[in-house]
Amino acid sequence: MNKWMTAACMGLLFSAQHAMAADSTGCEGGGFTVLGKASGQSASLAPGSVASVFRVQGRYVQFDVDAATFGVLNYTLTGAPNALDITGGRATPVFESKMPDHRGVVLDGAVSLQLSTAGDVVLTRSGPGVTMKIQAKDCANGGLFQMEVARADDTKTVFTHKLAQSAFYFDNRAFRDREGDSVAYKDTTLKVAPRINFGNDYSARFVGRDSPQFADRIAEPRCSNDILTRTGTLSRVQHCGGVSQWAVASGGRMGQVMGEDATEVAPPATVCEHKCQAQNQTRGAATVLGFPFPVADADRLKPRLPQ
């Protein structure tokens, strides 16, 4: 059952002049405290010793974990000072929840916990026929988070992502207006495809994206948006403004990428099966298209929730 086809998330990437310093600068002083353990510690905690909801607390990132599902609640960037901060120095809620639907299965095994001195955390828990893994990095931006599922029956798991009330999904105009163009990537080129990001109205550098691997977004017909293309035609985007759903294969994952990494033109994250990390650095090799701020109303996906 533990066939983790983990994909490394897109890691800390900024403009070319910042790329080499992204690791040390974006994560400077980072490190998590979880269930009484701190950086450099590992543990296997008995089921009865774990609260129903517990906090993962870092310098730059904090979130809560629902122990029975390994769903994530209240994912927040703390706004701690950092040269690569994207919050404007204020606590910034990102996701209200990221919840997997295990179809009645409760995770009831021991909680495995690994905290590295580099500011990473890996949490794993199993239940009858299901294993969940959470990996996170305590950094100001970049590839910060991924959630993985493995099922003994090899069926897909639906993940529901709900943004915080201050955040919203949008069709990125910087990508839409370049759709079909070829841009540089390492020693080759890639074609620009439409991009759905999320942002807010008060932090000009705050931008993120959902990053799937072996996962497909479930289109929502009740949230149909007609987006103007560069040719003057309309493209139908069936995506809500405050929630998205994903069908994740057994062994697949959903990642979260923040900052300029979220607006780069790059190939999908590489497939990783051993000693995987929540990052995969391209070190300035990708073209960063950015995003408009503020986001035009016509490009904000609506309604916020299915009607």
Burial code (b: 16+ CB inside 10 Å, e: under 16) for 94-118 equals bbbbbbbebeebebeebbebbbbee
| Maximum Cα interatomic distance, the chain, rounded to a whole number of Å | 60
Position 24 scores a pLDDT of: 74
Position 282 scores a pLDDT of: 52
Distance CA 296, CA 100 (A): 32
Q: Confirm if 68 and 106 have CB atoms less than 8 A apart.
A: yes
What CATH number corresponds to the domain at position 131? 2.70.98
Position 57 scores a pLDDT of: 98
Residue 3: inside a domain, yes or no? no
Residue 225: inside a domain, yes or no? yes
Tokens of 19: 């790329």
Residue 23: inside a domain, yes or no? yes
Q: Which residues does 297 contact at the CB level (< 8 Å), separation at least 6?
A: none
Position 273 scores a pLDDT of: 43
Tokens of 64: 């809560």
Q: Which residues pair with 34 in a beta bridge?
A: 37, 56
Helix (H, G, I), strand (E, B) or coil at 252: strand
**Predicted model pTM:** 0.89
- For the chain, the domain total comes to 1
What proportions of the chain, in percent to the nearest 5, are helix, strand and coil?
10, 45, 50
Residue 40: inside a domain, yes or no? yes
For residue 121, give the H/E element and its range. strand 120-127
Task: Give the residue among 1, 145, 3, 164 at the shortest CA–CA distance from 73.
Answer: 164
Residue 295: inside a domain, yes or no? yes
Position 5 scores a pLDDT of: 34
Q: Which residues pair with 199 in a beta bridge?
A: 168, 207
Position 13 scores a pLDDT of: 27
- Centre a 10 Å sphere on the Cβ of residue 247 and count the other Cβ atoms it contains: 16
Read off the amino acid at residue 139: C
Position 23 scores a pLDDT of: 52
Read off the amino acid at residue 185: Y
Read off the amino acid at residue 254: M
pLDDT per residue, tens digit, the chain (307 aa), is 444 433 333 232 223 223 323 457 999 999 999 999 999 999 999 999 999 999 999 999 999 999 999 999 999 999 999 999 999 999 999 999 999 999 999 999 999 999 999 999 999 999 999 999 999 999 999 999 999 999 999 999 999 999 999 999 999 999 999 999 999 999 999 999 999 999 999 999 999 999 999 999 999 999 999 999 999 999 999 999 999 999 999 999 999 999 999 999 998 765 554 444 544 445 568 999 999 999 999 999 999 999 8
DSSP 64-119: EEETTTTEEEEEEE-----TT-SSSSS-EEEEEEEEEE-TT----SPEEEEE-TTS
Domain range spanning residue 74? 16-299
